[in-house]
Amino acid sequence: MLNYRNALGEMPSYDGVERDFRIKVNANESTMNLPPLVEERVSNRLGYLALNRYPNEEYDMLVEQIAKNFGVAKSQALLGSGSSEIIEKVFHAFGGAGKKVVYPQPSFSMYKIYAKAAESEGVPFDLDKKFDLDVDAFIKKIREVKADLAVICNPNNPTGNALAVAQIEEIAKSIDCALLLDEAYVEFYGHSAFGLIKKYPNLIVARTFSKAYGLAGARVGYMLAQEDVTRMINKTFMPYHMNVLSLAAADIVYQMRDEFVSRIQMTIAERQRIFEQLKKLRGVEVFPSQTNFILIRLEKAATLNEYLESLDIGVRHFSANAAGLKNCLRISIGTRIENDEVFAAIKNFLHKV
Ligand SMILES: *Cc1c(COP(=O)(O)O)cnc(C)c1O
């Protein structure tokens, strides 16, 4: 008999199904690879790395760039292998037996899993019918259960909606415990709350290169917080947890982030265009989005998902036990051609049933 650690047996697996699709709009990735100019510079850079050395210098260079851009000290930024690693470490740092973590539901499915992994008690807080967060009730809940960590995903995955920065400030100000703000999609929203870290020592902001910057394969994310917080969180990472290839790629991408502005704008414009089109379909509920995806709800979601799969189109279908997401599908925004094809397929399906 193999004696695994206690929480592991009951810990759910991440249920994202990975399969290749002709049109893959199921994971909110960028459907385009890096802009050619950026790709060329990344390739060149990867050609002269000191692979025999631990990646101190490359880590420092990227942290320095990020800190400079946000106008904070280098000691206030940490990098992770995707923001996933950051989030997991934050759950770990504020977790353990007897600790509690409050997060909205539905939101990023991994919060529940990281809570379990940290042996904390996960306390989901239900969003309302329109997937809005009742900020006052959320604050009340955090205080009531004496949470050690609260989490907000803004804009929220998979619902797409966002809180105003003032609402986030209200939460940060009203609770004593740590507040992790997951801003994975903030580039498609345009309103970051990172400026609040100056004022609120409990606030931690997590960001990623995986969505707007099309670097999901390299696994790079970062967090910003006050120095005392980063010093503690930093203890939870392995030494040299970032690899030099990813660091170098992200360093170039960050230097050249202006090259991504037009793509981000295109994605936002496409999101609005597809949103308006989807809204015209009868029997489909469409949720407004500030991200690079749109959530829809329809009675025949499972059948539509199968139909799309038969056309080699992959969207995200939520399992029956995903709270609040019954009959929901999440569709990432791709290129104009991809979006048109996905929309035409949905429309076609609705005509047939
Ligand atoms: C995609 C995503 C992340 C993490 O992405 P990484 O690739 O690990 O940086 C974190 N939070 C949310 C809500 C996401 O959707």
The preferred substitution site among 29, 210, 242, 316 for testing ligand 1, maximizing ligand atoms within 8 Å of CB, is: 210
* Ligand 1 site, CB within 6 A: 28, 82-84, 108, 153, 157, 182, 184, 208, 210-211, 216, 221
pLDDT given at position 226: 98
Sign of the alpha-carbon torsion through 22, 29, 256, 290 = positive
Pocket probe for ligand 1: among 208, 242, 291, 316, the residue whose CB has the most ligand atoms within 8 Å is 208
Give distance in angstroms: CA of 29 to centre of ligand 1: 10
Atom of ligand 1 nearest to the CA of 153: 13
**From atom 1 of ligand 1, which residue's Cα is the shortest distance away?**
184
Q: Give the pLDDT of the chain (353 residues) as one tens digit per residue.
A: 899 988 788 887 776 566 889 999 999 999 999 999 999 999 999 999 999 999 999 999 999 999 999 999 999 999 999 999 999 999 999 999 999 999 999 999 999 999 999 999 999 999 999 999 999 999 999 999 999 999 999 999 999 999 999 999 999 999 999 999 999 999 999 999 999 999 999 999 999 999 999 999 999 999 999 999 999 999 999 999 999 999 999 999 999 999 999 999 999 999 999 999 999 999 999 999 999 999 999 999 999 999 999 999 999 999 878 899 999 999 999 999 999 999 999 999 999 87
Tell me, letter by letter, the H, E, C secondary structure of the chain.
CCCCCHHHCCCCCCCCCCCCCCEECCCCCCCCCCCHHHHHHHHHHHCCCCCCCCCHHHHHHHHHHHHHHHCCCHHHEEEECHHHHHHHHHHHHCCCCCCEEEEEECCCCHHHHHHHHCCCEEEEEECCCCCCCCHHHHHHHHHHCCCCEEEEECCCCCCCCCCCHHHHHHHHHHCCCEEEEECCCHHHCCCCCHHHHHCCCCEEEEEECCCCCCCCCCCCEEEECCHHHHHHHHCCCCCCCCCHHHHHHHHHHHHCHHHHHHHHHHHHHHHHHHHHHHHCCCCCEEECCCCCEEEEECCCHHHHHHHHHHCCEECEECCCCCCCCCCEEEEECCCHHHHHHHHHHHHHHHHHC
| Spacing, Cα 104 to ligand 1 middle (Å) | 16
pLDDT at 13: 78
Query: Whose alpha carbon is nearest atom 14 of ligand 1?
Result: 184
Q: 181 C-alpha to center of ligand 1: Å?
A: 12
Question: Please, which residues have CB within 8 angstroms of residue 289's CB and are 6 or more apart in sequence?
Answer: 155, 160, 161, 271, 275, 295
**From atom 6 of ligand 1, which residue's Cα is the shortest distance away?**
82
The minimum-distance atom of ligand 1 relative to the CA of 86 is: 8
Choice from 78, 108, 332 to test ligand 1 binding pocket (greatest atom count within 8 A of CB): 108
CA of 207 to the centre of ligand 1 (A): 8
Query: Is-contact 310 113, C-beta < 8 A?
Result: no
pLDDT at 12: 79
- Joined tokens for residue 117: 């992994």
Ligand 1 atom closest to Cα of residue 182: 11
Neighbours of 46 (CB within 10 A): 14
Ligand 1, atom 2: closest residue by C-alpha: 184
Residue with CA at minimum distance from ligand 1 atom 11: 184
